[in-house]
Structure 1
Amino acid sequence: MYYKEKNTELTDSYAENMLIDSAKQGDARAFELLAVKYKKLLEWYVKQLRIPVSETDDFIQEGLIGLLKAIRTYDGKSSSFVTYASVCIKSNIISAVRKFNRHYNTLVPYDDNLDDTVIDVSGSPESDFIDKESVRIIYNKVFSVLSQYELEVFEMYLSDMSYGDMSRKLGKDPKSIGNAVFRIRKKLKQTIKPNR
């Protein structure tokens, strides 16, 4: 993927890696900066799908979960964060497309050649400020609506832990884990959905 980056705030890979490390430790501000930077990439992937407008928020949510997974699991060894985050976001969105297709017995096409695209993530200072504020509000809302158990499950889910591994670690039935993930997704959807 060719990623055109004009946003000078995070062009230094060392600074970005520091933000990633801080976000892994729970620093909301670091997460905000990363989420704002990669928001256009996430939205671009979702726009490539030919889905009903009413479903867009669900796929953006899946992309955001992919970004959170990327932040939580990035080790900095094999590839740049841009590449890693792109793969995680795309993977989560494609997984959601497959679930959507099975659930609605329909076909949402997606382009397997998304990696050959140039994406400009620069924005105006005003839109960046609004984006940062929106991300901060969403981040705080998400973590305030989840129970302690749901937070634990969500952290493990973001680390790509299987339901079986989660159930063993938490001493819970896999069905309980699945129910928690369902509740988390529902709460995320309600939290992320814009007021209309």
Structure 2
Amino acid sequence: MGRVSSKSKSKYDEMTEHDIISLAQNGDRSAEKYLINNNIDIVYAKSKLFYIKGLDNDDVIQEGLVGLYKAIRDYKIKREASFRGFAHLC
């Protein structure tokens, strides 16, 4: 798989996405945070689609973040699917 990009330098910048996901799934909180930061745009884009009048947008974003955490937890590297694609579904 390709490399994951980030705005600031990180030890994860030179790692593959699958390696970072594997670290996150094995309890590396920094890897998890790195994945969240690099995929938060999915949450914001999806939150716009699910906005309901009268509902606090922060609540929708919070639900999206739960989905992103679940995507990290449940992603199967062996399936060779895109993590971003899987995160969109979650």
TM-score normalised to the size of structure 1? 0.37
Question: For this pair of structures, how many residues does the alignment match?
Answer: 81
- Equivalent residue letter for 2:62: Q
Structure 1 unaligned blocks of 5 or more: 1-6, 89-196
Name the structure 2 match of 1:41.
42
Name the structure 2 match of 1:66.
67
1:23-45 per-position Cα deviation (integer Å, ceiling 9, x unaligned): 11111110111101111110111
- SS class of match (1:51): coil
1:8 Cα deviation after fit: 3.0
**Between structures 1 and 2, the one with greater helix share:** 1
- Equivalent residue letter for 1:8: S
- Equivalent residue letter for 2:5: T
Q: Distance in 2 between matches of 1:85 and 1:75?
A: 12
Q: Does residue 83 in structure 1 map to residue 85 in structure 2?
A: yes
1:11 Cα deviation after fit: 8.5
Distance 1:11 1:41, change over 3 A: farther
TM-score normalised to the size of structure 2? 0.75
Write out aligned runs for 1:1-196 (5 A).
8-9=5-6, 15-52=16-53, 54-76=55-77, 77-88=79-90
Q: CA RMSD in A?
A: 2.3
